[in-house]
Amino acid sequence: MAVKSLDETVNRISMELSALISRKLKECTSVPTVPTLSAPMDPVKARPDTNRQHQQASHLAKPTSLTNLSAANNSITNLHQAPVPVQKQPPSQSPDVHDAYVNAMVSIRAGQLTKALELTLTTTNQALLLQVLQEMPTVQLFRQNIGQDLLLSLIHQLTCGNLRDKLDLKVSFLQDALTHLNVKDETVQNHGGNIVGLLVTKLSFLMDTSLSPAEENRVQALCRTALELSAKLPATFSGAEANTKSISG
């Protein structure tokens, strides 16, 4: 009886231990283990700061100093733009004058200087003529066969207006044009006297103005050449005798 009672006691204790272990195991698996904190956690602070993380990620992906550099430069440029320099526009030209200038430049580049001069003289535009003559090689031009009518037209158009405008250029071309006139040519006989006489008169008035010594010497030399030619040509223009003594002296 004693042995039987001992076996029953052992079995009962084993069953109780088994039940206790099973219960503890269930408790451990069903309740999560929470770490012990020294102070209670604020639920708001415990929440992850997703906005700040997003901003940090954006900041790392696109640095502000680089991303906004172009926009900042554009805004500065728009606010502090340098003033645009005002370019002086050339005087407006009619289509005919513009075409004549373009064609004259093409002829000069092709070495057809006489053709370029003819194209320019047909416009009777002195501003255009002076512009073209600035691009014209003088020596090469007068080495070509220039018609006497072109020479007379050149002398006449350069004489018109104010001789002081582009004086050096005008004197240079007038001197060469007078030198190449053929007094025996019929066109020169018919029209040269009046054209050269007008030039003498304009030169005499020009010499009464203030000229530099170099300009005065060149004008006097040109006037002497013109006087020599006018003496060989019939003229109805009485101005050819104007101020002859002062010019000759």
Furthest C-alpha separation in the chain:
180
- Sign of the alpha-carbon torsion through 188, 216, 143, 96: negative
Q: Which residue has the higher pLDDT, 129 or 93?
A: 129
The CA distance from 115 to 132, in Å, is 12
- Percentage of residues in the chain having pLDDT higher than 90: 53
Provide the residue ranges of all domains of the chain, joining segments of one domain with +. 94-146, 147-249
pLDDT tens-place string over residues 146-172: 999 999 999 999 999 999 999 999 999
Q: Do residues 100 and 120 touch, judged by C-beta distance below 8 A?
A: yes
Question: What is the reported pTM?
Answer: 0.60
pLDDT of residue 12: 54
Mention every residue, 6+ apart, whose C-beta is less than 8 A from residue 103: 116, 119
Distance CA 39, CA 12 (A): 45
